[in-house]
A and B are shown apart, each in its own frame.
Chain A
Amino acid sequence: GDSVTQMEGPVTLSEEAFLTINCTYTATGYPSLFWYVQYPGEGLQLLLKATKADDKGSNKGFEATYRKETTSFHLEKGSVQVSDSAVYFCALSDRGSYIPTFGRGTSLIVHP
């Protein structure tokens, strides 16, 4: 079945540091890939997505590239802010199934 593996957290960074959160996936079909973010006390919200190989999703300074050859969708940001502190979820949605699969989430803590 489909699965998503994210790096364990928490990830702790200082403000303006470079961020990478790794995400790899296993899918039987050709999935769409997503990053969602959950701020404290809130529901998840879409951060970015990519629907085909080599597509780059980007939003709010975050980027992720759909790499079919390595089955990865790593999240990056060049300079994090305290306000980026949240839990980040990698997810996939396979064309053969409408059931989305989420990773376990990676907590990011950014210190001033």
Chain B
Amino acid sequence: DSGVTQTPKHLITATGQRVTLRCSPRSGDLSVYWYQQSLDQGLQFLIQYYNGEERAKGNILERFSAQQFPDLHSELNLSSLELGDSALYFCASSVQQGAGETQYFGPGTRLLVL
């Protein structure tokens, strides 16, 4: 158990819909990262927050947005869903945001768009 929790574990929805994925980092971790894992694209970095502020953006679509709240939990919002958005979405956290920091991953949310 990494100490990072993600809800829900599974999500099935339809194209065009909007969903929210939630992540609670390990106690004391200030940095939260979101990743998308799919068979064809591998593990793709989406976005990072540090202590409530967005710090880095990766391959995140404009239809996707995220935020980190004062209690440090984070939410990833996916809208106008397409079939290709079906994937595993992971959240990870780390104490700081330095290059040598270990990331602790949650169990993931499996999203299926029908």
Contacts and interface: CB of A to CB of B under 8 A. Distances in A.
B106 interface: yes
Contacts of B107: 41-43
B90 A43 contact: yes
Contacts, number: 61
A49 B90 contact: no
A25 B103 CA distance: 19
A31 B99 contact: yes
A94 B48 CA distance: 15
Interface string B84-114: 0000001010000111111111111000000
Most A CB within 10 A of own CB, among B43, B58, B103, B104: B43
Interface residues of A, number: 25
Given A43-B4, A102-B43, 14 more contacts: A31-B99, A43-B105, A44-B43, A44-B92, A45-B104, A89-B43, A93-B100, A93-B101, A94-B99, A95-B99, A98-B48, A98-B97, A100-B33, A103-B42
Contacts of A95: 99
A56 interface: no
